[in-house]
């Protein structure tokens, strides 16, 4: 049998089972949309029950978690009791893979074999999907999404948009353009290639292609709805404002990267469309989603517990700064993440949201703490570069790589290199780094991560 026939068969098999999976998502979506109107009491009651179920299951089926959960009674546990458990790191998850996974017919060797042999996305006989991601940390991870976890993650990702579609149903053809990695092993394509309204057509456009090709594909798709990595949508919006792209999306969803102020402003100026920003991870799925009515993101508290903690993993008060954020995913029982260090810092928004939701909010994620560059005792925040590079109208995209005494910058567009270089040097001087060596190279495109299609905007010195 030829390789092409094998690939065609693999894709066909996957699509048939995925169709069944998406039908289950559709069946569950109404329940998730209804949860958006829950009271604070309903949210807390549901979350506590889900947490107890997860802890009890993990203790019985995962040797790794059984050891961590000694002394904690899952039957009476509360969110506050999680503070007694040690943090779980990415290194913990990858080094203890076989002791964490709760299904007996799956181990790390088999998961790696599935990743190596699959020609397209696939399901195990048990209905699990295997994904891999390097993320911004650069540490490769292998992850398992079981059948129900996928349903939960998709509903969390799309329920806010689905509610808006129900309130204002489209009178014409709806087309969703999904700009993502486009192929295995990253989870973005299965998660986002999901219609949010009856009859919606979808098209997947790989973001790793040259931008001119991406631009042409988006123009040909004529999407009414757009979902993509934040930096990609920002660049599309700037192209639209220059008259290089003629589309009129009625709803925009961003994900996978920090939504910078410059990109949000570009979207507003190009299309005046509501923006639903999403903060998620391959480990947890979806942590929070923006409602497009108020600031920040609503935490998916019915399926996720977030803890803002200090450097020792001790929870801090809502109005105190936190060093890191720990997440407990309540939906994934095949590979539980309990008090997992996401590597992000979040700030709680105390005021009620104009949308009326009782779900807590966090400010838009400004980036991982690893985005900051450290030069000896001096720390230069990523915002020092963003302020200059992200506000220059002649730069459509950029990437900053730290050097010993400054940075090398790749810029797409037609910038005044001398002017921009001087502005960056001045911005770094304000941060305490005198006479920084800045080198700017104008390029046609930036190289995205091959596995995920993401852009690593800031690359620290190793």
State the angle between helix axes of 261-271 and 230-241 in degrees (0 to 180), rounded to the nearest 10. Answer: 40
How would residue 85 be classed by pLDDT, with cut points 50, 70 and 90?
Answer: very high
Sheet (strand 304-309) strand order = 304-309, 324-329, 340-341
In-domain check, residue 452: yes
Low-confidence winner among 285-294, 386-395, 418-427, 448-457 (lowest mean pLDDT):
448-457
- Within 302-447, residue ranges assigned H as helices are 382-389, 417-430
Strands 251-255 and 201-206: unpaired
What is the average per-residue pLDDT within 350-374? 83
In-domain check, residue 407: yes
The answer to whether residue 1 scores a pLDDT higher than 80 is: no
Q: Give residue-wise pLDDT tens across range 132-184.
A: 876 544 456 889 999 999 999 999 999 999 999 888 877 788 999 999 877 78
User: How far apart, in whole angstroms, are the C-alpha atoms of residue 381 and residue 222?
Assistant: 38
185 upstream amide cis, omega within 30 of 0: yes
Identify the three-state secondary structure at position 237.
Answer: helix
Nearest to residue 331, comparing CAs of 149, 102, 129, 130?
149
In-domain check, residue 202: no
Strands 129-133 and 458-459: unpaired
Q: Which are the contacts of 229, defined by CB distance < 8 A and separation ≥ 6?
A: 179, 180, 207, 254, 255, 256, 257, 453, 454, 455
Q: pLDDT value at position 451?
A: 54
In-domain check, residue 208: no
Nearest to residue 36, comparing CAs of 24, 46, 25?
46
Q: Give residue-wise pLDDT tens across range 182-227.
A: 778 889 899 999 998 888 999 999 887 778 889 999 999 999 999 9
In-domain check, residue 398: yes
Q: How many domains does the chain have?
A: 1
Q: pLDDT value at position 446?
A: 86
CA angle in degrees (0–180, nearest 5) for 254-307-186 = 40
In-domain check, residue 449: yes
User: How far apart, in whole angstroms, are the C-alpha atoms of residue 451 and residue 183?
Assistant: 8
How many angstroms separate the most distant Cα atoms in the chain?
64
Identify the three-state secondary structure at position 459.
Answer: strand
Nearest to residue 392, comparing CAs of 412, 407, 373?
412
Contacts 24+ apart (CB under 8 A), 76-79: 76/52, 77/51, 77/52, 78/48, 78/51, 79/47, 79/48, 79/51, 79/305
User: How far apart, in whole angstroms, are the C-alpha atoms of residue 153 and residue 282?
Assistant: 10
Query: For residue 453, what are the domain limits?
Result: 372-459
Residue of higher predicted confidence among 284 and 258? 284
Q: Which are the contacts of 334, defined by CB distance < 8 A and separation ≥ 6?
A: 101, 102, 103, 106, 128, 144, 145, 146, 149
CA angle in degrees (0–180, nearest 5) for 257-30-185 = 35
Tell me the whole-structure pTM to 2 decimals: 0.82
Q: pLDDT value at position 227?
A: 96
Nearest to residue 275, comparing CAs of 215, 244, 233?
233
In-domain check, residue 378: yes
User: How far apart, in whole angstroms, are the C-alpha atoms of residue 88 and residue 337?
Assistant: 8
Cβ–Cβ under 8 Å, residues 386 and 400: no
User: How far apart, in whole angstroms, are the C-alpha atoms of residue 160 and residue 344?
Assistant: 23
How would residue 391 be classed by pLDDT, with cut points 50, 70 and 90?
Answer: low
The answer to whether residue 2 scores a pLDDT higher than 50 is: no
For residue 452, give the CATH number of its domain.
3.30.300.30
Q: pLDDT value at position 454?
A: 65
How would residue 395 be classed by pLDDT, with cut points 50, 70 and 90?
Answer: confident
What is the average per-residue pLDDT within 439-455? 78
Enter the tokens of residue 99: 């002791």
In-domain check, residue 454: yes
Nearest to residue 282, comparing CAs of 361, 205, 335, 232?
335
Identify the three-state secondary structure at position 156.
Answer: helix
Q: pLDDT value at position 238?
A: 92
Cβ–Cβ under 8 Å, residues 64 and 96: yes
Integer distance in angstroms from the first to the last C-alpha of the chain?
46
The answer to whether residue 383 scores a pLDDT higher than 80 is: no
Q: Which are the contacts of 16, defined by CB distance < 8 A and separation ≥ 6?
A: none
User: How far apart, in whole angstroms, are the C-alpha atoms of residue 46 and residue 182?
Assistant: 35
Q: pLDDT value at position 81?
A: 97
User: How far apart, in whole angstroms, are the C-alpha atoms of residue 281 and residue 279?
Assistant: 7
Q: Quick one: DSSP state of residue 86?
A: P
Instruction: Provide the total of helices (H) and of strands (E) in the chain, helices listed first.
Output: 13, 20
Enter the tokens of residue 325: 């954020």
Residues 229-249 as b or e (16 or more Cβ within 10 Å = b): bbbbbbbbbbbbeeeebebeb
Nearest to residue 404, comparing CAs of 369, 443, 378, 440?
378
Q: pLDDT value at position 139?
A: 55
Q: Which are the contacts of 447, defined by CB distance < 8 A and separation ≥ 6?
A: none
Cβ–Cβ under 8 Å, residues 322 and 337: no
The answer to whether residue 370 scores a pLDDT higher than 80 is: no
Low-confidence winner among 5-19, 85-99, 395-409 (lowest mean pLDDT):
5-19
């Amino acid at each position: 049998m030829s390789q092409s026939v094998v690939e065609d068969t693999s894709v066909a098999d996957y699509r048939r089972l995925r169709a069944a999976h998406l039908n289950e998502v559709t069946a569950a979506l109404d329940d998730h949309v209804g949860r958006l109107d829950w009271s604070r009491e309903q949210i807390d009651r549901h979350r506590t029950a889900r947490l107890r179920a997860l802890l009890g299951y993990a203790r019985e089926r995962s040797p790794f978690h059984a050891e961590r959960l000694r002394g904690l009674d899952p039957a009476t546990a509360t969110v506050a009791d999680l503070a007694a458990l040690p943090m779980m790191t990415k290194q913990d998850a990858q080094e203890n893979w076989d002791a964490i996974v709760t299904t007996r017919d799956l181990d790390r060797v088999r998961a790696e074999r599935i990743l190596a042999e699959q020609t397209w996305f696939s399901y195990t006989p048990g209905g699990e999907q295997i994904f891999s991601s390097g993320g911004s940390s650069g540490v490769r991870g292998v992850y398992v999404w079981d059948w129900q976890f996928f349903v939960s993650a998709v509903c969390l990702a799309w329920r806010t948009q689905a509610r808006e579609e129900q309130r204002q149903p489209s009178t014409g053809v709806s087309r969703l353009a999904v700009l993502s990695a486009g192929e295995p092993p990253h989870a973005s394509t299965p998660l986002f290639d999901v219609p949010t309204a009856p009859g919606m057509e979808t098209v997947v456009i790989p973001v790793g292609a040259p931008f001119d090709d991406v631009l042409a594909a988006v123009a040909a798709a004529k999407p009414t709805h757009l979902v993509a990595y934040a930096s990609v949508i920002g660049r599309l919006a700037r192209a639209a404002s220059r008259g290089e792209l003629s589309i009129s999306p009625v709803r925009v969803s961003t994900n996978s990267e920090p939504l910078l102020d410059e990109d949000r402003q570009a979207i507003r100026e190009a299309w005046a469309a509501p923006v639903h920003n999403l903060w998620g991870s391959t480990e947890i799925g979806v942590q929070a989603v923006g409602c497009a009515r108020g600031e920040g993101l609503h935490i998916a508290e019915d399926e996720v517990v977030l803890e803002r903690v200090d450097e020792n993993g001790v929870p801090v008060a809502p109005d105190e700064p936190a060093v890191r954020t720990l997440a407990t995913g309540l939906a994934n029982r095949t590979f539980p993440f309990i008090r997992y260090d996401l590597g992000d810092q979040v700030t709680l928004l105390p005021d009620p949201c104009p949308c009326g939701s009782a779900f807590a909010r966090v400010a838009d994620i400004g980036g991982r703490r690893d985005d900051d560059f450290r030069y000896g005792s001096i720390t230069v925040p990523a915002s020092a570069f963003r302020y200059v590079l992200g506000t220059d109208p002649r730069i459509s995209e950029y990437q900053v790589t730290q050097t010993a005494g400054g940075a090398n910058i790749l810029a797409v567009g037609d910038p005044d290199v001398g002017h921009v270089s001087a502005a960056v040097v001045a911005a770094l001087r304000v941060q305490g780094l005198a006479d920084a060596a800045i080198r700017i190279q104008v390029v046609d495109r930036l190289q995205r991560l091959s596995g995920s299609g993401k852009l690593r905007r800031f690359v620290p010195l190793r």
